[in-house]
Amino acid sequence: MTEPKPQRIDRRRVRTRAALLRAGQQLFSERSVDGVSIDDIVAAAQVAKGSFYNHFPDKDALAQALADQARASVETTAAVAGAGVADPAERVARALCVFVRQAVEHPESSRLMLRLFHGAAVPDAPMNAGVRADIQEGLAAGRFSGIGLEAAILLAVGAVQIAVARAIEREATNTDALAADLALGLLRGLGVADAPAVATRAASGVFKAHTAAKPQGKLA
C-alpha cells in the first residue's frame, strides 16, 4: 500500500484548518462560544469530528485563534496607516479610524473580535503594545495631558470597541464622519489641544487614502 505523500497531507491539513476557521468565524459571529458546539463547527466546515481535534483542543482554542487573527490583521493595517506619521495623537486617531473602516468592510470578523477579545481590558496586555507605545510617547512629549498611562490606554481601547460596534450597527453610512467624531472624543479625553484638526486629518488620511488605493473599474 502506498503511503500518502507528506506534501499531500500538509495541503489537506491546511485546507481542513482553513475550513474550520471559516466555519468558526461564521458561527461565532452569530452566536456566543457557549451557543456553538463542536458538532456545529464540523458540520459547517464539512470535516470529520476527529479532524477538529487535530487542529484545536477545544472550541475555545478555535475562538481564540480567530480573535487573534482578526486583531492581528487590523493592527497590521493600523501600523501601516500610522507609518511615517510623527504625531502620536494622529497615530492613535488613525488606528481608531482603521478599526472603524475594517468593521464596515469586514463586519463578521470585527463582530467576532468584539465578542472574543476580552484581554483588551488589561492595559499591559501584549495586544495593547502598539497603542501603549503611542500613548507613552504622547505623554512624554506633552501631547497628551490630564490623564495617566493606564487610564489613557483603557480610554483608547474602550473607544475602539465602541467605534467598532457603532460602525457595524451603522454599516456604510457616513463611516468617515463617524470615525472622525469618535476619534475627536478620544483625543479630547487624552487632552489633545487641537483635537478637532487632528481627528479630521486622521479620518481623511485613512479613508481617502484607502479609497484612492482601490482599483478602479474600466470605462466602457
For residue 115, the enclosing domain spans 67-213
Residue 2 has pLDDT above 70, yes or no: no
Pair (81, 162) in one structural domain: yes
Pair (22, 90) in one structural domain: no
Q: What is the CATH number of the domain that holds 166?
A: 1.10.357.10
Pair (207, 174) in one structural domain: yes
| pLDDT of the residue at 217 | 46
| pLDDT of the residue at 215 | 47
Q: pLDDT tens digit string along 179-214?
A: 999 999 999 999 999 999 999 999 999 988 655 445
pTM score:
0.77
What stretches of the chain show up as alpha helix (H) in DSSP?
A: 6-30, 38-45, 49-53, 59-82, 88-105, 107-116, 129-140, 149-170, 175-189, 195-213
Residues 6+ apart with CB under 8 A from 7: none
| pLDDT of the residue at 47 | 96
Pair (209, 131) in one structural domain: yes
